[in-house]
Amino acid sequence: MSGQQGGGRCSTGVCATCADLAEEATVLRLLDRGMAVVATGAGELEVSVALVAAAVGDTVLVHAGEAIAVVRG
Amino acid sequence: MRFVDEFRDASTARALAAKISKLCEPGRHYKFMEVCGGHTHTIYKHGLEDYLPDNITLVHGPGCPVCVIPMGRVDDAIHIARQPGVLMTSFGDMMRVPGSDGNFFDSNAAGTNIRMVYSPLDSLKIARQHPDLHVVFMAIGFETTAPSTAMTVLRAAEEGIDNFSVFCNHVTIIPAIKAILDSPDLRLDGFLGPGHVSTVIGCRPYEFIARDHGKPVVVAGFEPLDILQSIYLLMRQLRQGRAEVENQYARVVPWDGNPVALRAINAVMEPRPYFEWRGLGFISHSAMRMRDRYAGLDAERRFDLPGVRVADPKACQCGEVLKGVLKPWECKVFGTACTPETPIGTCMVSPEGACAAYYNFGRFDRRRVREVSRA
């Protein structure tokens, strides 16, 4: 739940279950049907990369399991 | 950590703050609204207000997706969850949003099955695993989460999954900004534009703010230095007599946004004639509903909803907080009857809510704010 993990308040501002907080993640493997395995601060996660042109190694911005931007720089 | 440490350097922050101070005209007061709740969270987590000169006030806008959901929609969701054979899924921070008869947790205690998920795709996975149940995803959020919902609907349609539907509560940020600009309560000098919404919609939709209202907009990132630099850019525009849209968050936000994501949203959803926002009332064309083509995946059409409008609790002043008219600690119930553990209003629920940000980072009242600032 929002901001609460194990009874304490979330300190990072990026909880996996928060509605509208983005996570930056690195693409590890591209899968079928626009999906990919990404590395987040909290471990590996399968997300959709169908809306961005992301390659392995790119950092993407993930909102609710969907990458919506590639982070440049 | 990449993209984090370099944006949190204290000496750079102090240098930026000094540059901001130099741009202040003596005797003038500046009021900027950060539209996005993510910015509010960063500002209080890192104490950025304390870096700024006294004559700059940050006003917290309506960009917290959970905070703006009216009570009636929570009641509608609980009504759907009570139907036989329904499993509802929701983002975690929606779980504690109060309806007129309790929140999702209370509803579960009374027998419904509302589960937290990380994404709508996870809901679809649950639907595949439970063909005997009808899975309804409670979709909320701005243009940041709408692409995820849209892609899930497209995938469900493609796979022909018929035990899945979406209760669509997606809202759009531009009509809310227009409503704020038209509100006589508030005089603003400029806006910090929502960084992540802009990755999808781009920077062009804000141009009317500069052109028609003569106010600068800087699309801002979410790290402390992003926000301070954006305030600096706003101050520089005011000092130079300019009103333009600038993109401070160019490492993530393309000027034209993400056209593929916009096409996906547009394929699945269309604007509603109007939608009720908590605190702001009914705003025309401010939310999305499912298109006829996806009627079978639309929970609003599959279930008969009560659709009753419920007034906010009298004690709650979330509306004024969402419009930036009141500071959270000026609300009568802030920190007493209303806390993150037992929220009365939505602004106390989500970490993006202004009240939760103030409460969590110790800004309980005017006196305490001064003490925290001196520390």
> Per residue in B52-88, pLDDT tens?
998 999 988 888 888 889 999 999 999 999 999 999 9
CATH of the domain at A45: 2.30.30.140
pLDDT at B215: 97
What is the count of residue pairs from A and B with beta carbons less than 8 Å apart?
A: 144
pLDDT at residue A29 is higher than 80: yes
Residue A25 lies in a domain: yes
Question: B322, B323, B348: which is closest to B333 by C-alpha?
Answer: B348
Domains and CATH numbers, chain B: 1-312 (3.40.50.11740), 318-374 (no CATH)
Predicted confidence (pLDDT) at residue B219 exceeds the cutoff of 70 = yes
Residue B375's pLDDT band (boundaries 50, 70, 90)? Answer: low
Average pLDDT of span A33-49: 92
Residue at A57 is within a domain: yes
Q: What amino acid occupies position A30?
A: L
Q: Measured between beta carbons, which residues in chain A are less than 8 angstroms from residue B95? A: 1-2
For B340, which of A3, A24, A48 is closest by C-beta distance?
A3
- Cβ count within 10 A of residue B23: 18
- Tell whether B62 lies on the interface with A, counting CB pairs under 8 A: no
**Domain-located, residue A1:** no
User: Does some domain include residue A4?
Assistant: no
Specify the pLDDT at position B32: 95
pLDDT of residue B367: 67
CA distance B192 to chain A (A): 17
Buried b (16+ CB within 10 A) or exposed e, B297-321: bbbbebbebeeeebebbeebbbbbb
DSSP type of residue B171: B
Residue A39 to chain B, least CA–CA distance (Å): 13
Domain-embedded: residue A2: no
Q: Is the pLDDT of residue A2 over 50?
A: no
pLDDT at B46 over 60: yes
pLDDT at A70: 95
Mark yes or no for CB contact A15/B351 under 8 Å: yes
Chain B interface, best mutation among A32, A66, A71, A72, by max B CB count within 10 A = A66
What distance in Å separates the CA atoms of residue B15 and residue B21, rounded to the nearest whole number?
10
Which residues of chain A from 51 to 70 reach within 8 Å of chain B, CB to CB?
51-52, 59, 61, 63-66, 68-69
Q: pLDDT tens digit string along B118-164? A: 899 999 999 999 999 999 999 999 999 999 999 999 999 999 999 99
Q: What is the DSSP pairing of strand B134-141 with strand B86-90?
A: parallel
Q: Is the pLDDT of residue B351 over 60?
A: yes
pLDDT for A8 equals 33
Rounded CA separation B150/B120 (Å): 9
Q: Band of the pLDDT at A7, cuts 50, 70, 90?
A: very low
Check if B3 contacts A (Cβ < 8 Å): yes
The answer to whether the CB atoms of A24 and B3 lie below 8 A apart is yes
Q: Is residue A58 part of a domain?
A: yes
Report yes or no: B89 and B138 within 8 Å, Cβ to Cβ: yes
Sort out which chain B residues have CB atoms less than 8 A from A3's CB and list them: 93, 340, 350-351, 356, 360
Separation of alpha carbons B88 and B107, rounded Å: 11
- Using CB atoms and an 8 Å cut-off, which of residues 207-266 of chain B contact chain A? 222, 250-254, 258, 260-261, 264
pLDDT over 70 (residue A14): no
Q: Do A2 and B93 touch (CB under 8 A)?
A: yes
Residue B151: its pLDDT value, please?
97
Q: How sure is the predictor about A9, in pLDDT bands with cuts at 50, 70 and 90?
A: very low
Decide if A44 is inside a domain.
yes
pLDDT of A13 over the 60 cut = no
Q: How many independent structural domains does chain A possess?
A: 1
Report the pLDDT value the prediction gives residue B369, as an integer from 0 to 100.
67
- ipTM score of complex: 0.85
State the pLDDT confidence band at B212, using cuts at 50, 70 and 90: very high
Q: What is the pLDDT of residue B124?
A: 97
Residue B372 pLDDT > 70, yes or no? no
Please report, rounded to a whole number, the percentage of residues in chain A having pLDDT higher than 70. 70
- pLDDT of B374 above 90: no
What average pLDDT does this structure show over B207-235? 97
Cβ neighbours of B99 (radius 10 Å)? 21
Residue B121 touches chain A, beta carbons under 8 Å: yes
Average pLDDT, chain B: 92
Quick one: pLDDT at residue B146? Answer: 96
Interchain pair B93, A51: CB under 8 A: no
Range of the domain at A64: 20-71
A22 touches chain B (CB under 8 A): yes
- Please compute the mean of the pLDDT values over residues A63-73 and round it to a whole number: 89
- B350 to A65: CB separation less than 8 angstroms, yes or no: no
Q: What is the pLDDT of residue B288?
A: 97
> Do the domain assignments include residue A5?
no
Specify the higher pLDDT residue, B97 or B208.
B208
> Residue A2 and residue B322: Cα distance in Å, rounded?
19
What is residue A17's predicted lDDT score, i.e. its pLDDT?
Answer: 42
pLDDT value of residue B368: 67
Share of chain B above pLDDT 70, in %: 96
A19 and B94 in contact by Cβ < 8 A? yes
Using CB atoms, which residue from B93, B258, B264 is nearest to A18?
Answer: B93
- Closest residue in A to B254 (Cα) is A69
